Structure 1
Amino acid sequence: MANLGIVIPAAGQGKRMGAGCNKQFLQLKGQPILIHAVRVFQMSDYVSEIVIVGAENDLALIKELVDHYKLDKVVSVCQGGAQRQDSVRSGVLALSPAIQRVVVHDGARPLLTLKDFHRFLQEAEGFSAAIMGIQVKDTIKQVNNSGIVTDTLPRELLRAVQTPQIFERNKLEEAHMRAASVGYYGTDDASLLEWIGYPVQMIEGSLENIKVTTPEDLWLSERILAMREK
């Protein structure tokens, strides 16, 4: 399980946050969201390398934060692409050849705990691709372009997908390269492996492992961290 490489895509602009800056730099309990997201992997004995992928204008700041918070497992801060998928591909290529299993985790998902990460790794053993997700609570309906309901999907078979997601590196690289060659974009990295026919295992996630997308998410993240401190 050791010798994992972590890719943290952090190049999104976070327009829904309305903060006027990359949401990963917003403060959460006195530290940038991105630092919360990276630190769990810095603490894990299973992780050998971390690559952070950022927007061109943010690279200098990310490097300053890496130095300031002494994140010595970060081996590269590289420039992202036009889409998240392009950024992940760049991050994977920045890992050393020794890394054979890759974990992808959102830079705006700061509440993953070390305990949940290690449980995820344990349950992902033996699978070439595994992702974290939680069962949906609401009834999900499919609609057409006019807003007319066309189907009610079976809730017990649906999951809201989170990160981390873990992959055998050769399969992840194959999926990304084949997608890039034909201009195919998936909704996440797992969807690329699904697209070329590789099985992906779903592993139960955590309700607290939220992605910070809106101001309400930031408020909720602060409440969750405050509860953990108690």
Structure 2
Amino acid sequence: MTESERHAGVVIVAAGRGTRMGTKENKQYLLLDGKPIVVHTLEAFQREPLISEIVLVTGSQDVDRCKAWIETYGLKKVTRVISGGEERQHSVYKGLKALNAEWVLVHDGVRPFVSGKHIRSCCEAAWESGAAVLAVPVKDTVKVADARGFVSSTPDRRSLWAIQTPQAFRRSELILAHERAIVEGFAGTDDSMLMERMGTNVKIVEGDYSNIKITTPEDLDFAAFLRSRVESKGENNE
């Protein structure tokens, strides 16, 4: 791959209406250090030179205010803001169709602490192997339970990874995986699962435990702590 070809588009998924946060406002639009969480997420990709375009997928009722924030914060790489589907999988598919880049990263709108280093590592692994996901080793012992609630097995923790985003793929291949899932009525928990069903080997790239997904009030408190640590060190998630 030549240097001129080393770029990727991003689908940022922010169309969810999670209830675990316990707030009237959707979690992706809550303020973190004075900015909506989703703006922090967009800025992480805006800063990264490998990223050529960003599509933000949000709720239909939120498109206009997201467009206003993009203008306010100078997020020039955001080429489209579109409304999502009924489920996350549908929203990702709509985002993929709105991109032009050959390679794509899919990222949760409520993961604002992804670093430039890990964005680049995920891209590099995908370009080399065809598909890649960011993940961290599982710290705790995990038990598999049976239908009665008893332990049925204990997997080897050394083989277990907690999957994060971004996840990187060739866009045309991910679109095919989504279209197969639509035809077969299959709902996956992430995009790599759809690619696995296509027989694609997905490379794991070790990320960072700070790349949290903000879904609960406790997550928001931790996010405020992480943000303050970044500010005190003069870092910008590079």
Q: TM-score w.r.t. structure 2 length?
A: 0.93
Offset at residue 121 of structure 1 (A) = 2.6
Correspondence for 2:111 among 109, 112, 116: 109
* 2:70 is aligned with 1:76: no
- Report if the CA contact (8 A) 1:26-1:32 is conserved: yes
Does the residue aligned with 1:223 lie in a helix, a strand or coil? helix
Q: Aligned residue for 2:15?
A: 11
Does the residue aligned with 1:7 lie in a helix, a strand or coil? strand
Offset at residue 55 of structure 1 (A) = 0.9
Offset at residue 116 of structure 1 (A) = 2.6
Q: Which amino acid aligns with 2:221?
A: W
Offset at residue 60 of structure 1 (A) = 1.1
Q: Aligned residue for 2:41?
A: 37
- Report if the CA contact (8 A) 1:124-1:203 is conserved: no
Same amino acid, percent of matched pairs: 42
Q: Aligned residue for 2:63?
A: 59
Q: Aligned residue for 1:213?
A: 215
Query: Runs in 1 of length 4+ with deviation above 4 angstroms?
Result: none
Q: TM-score w.r.t. structure 1 length?
A: 0.96
Offset at residue 2 of structure 1 (A) = 2.7
Number of aligned residues: 228
Which string of whole-angstrom CA distances, capped at 9 and with x for unpartnered residues, describes residues 57-112 of structure 1? 1111111111111111111111101110000000000012xx11000010010111
Aligned equivalents of 2:121, 2:173: Cα separation in 1: 23
- Report if the CA contact (8 A) 1:7-1:50 is conserved: yes
Q: Aligned residue for 1:177?
A: 179
- Report if the CA contact (8 A) 1:140-1:152 is conserved: yes
Aligned equivalents of 1:199, 1:82: Cα separation in 2: 28
Q: Aligned residue for 2:202?
A: 200
Offset at residue 195 of structure 1 (A) = 1.2
Aligned equivalents of 1:50, 1:229: Cα separation in 2: 25
Correspondence for 2:123 among 121, 124, 130: 121
Task: Structure 2: state its 5+ residue gaps.
Answer: 233-238
Does the residue aligned with 2:147 lie in a helix, a strand or coil? coil
Offset at residue 122 of structure 1 (A) = 3.1
Aligned equivalents of 2:94, 2:31: Cα separation in 1: 27
Which string of whole-angstrom CA distances, capped at 9 and with x for unpartnered residues, describes residues 39-68 of structure 1? 111111111110000111111111111111
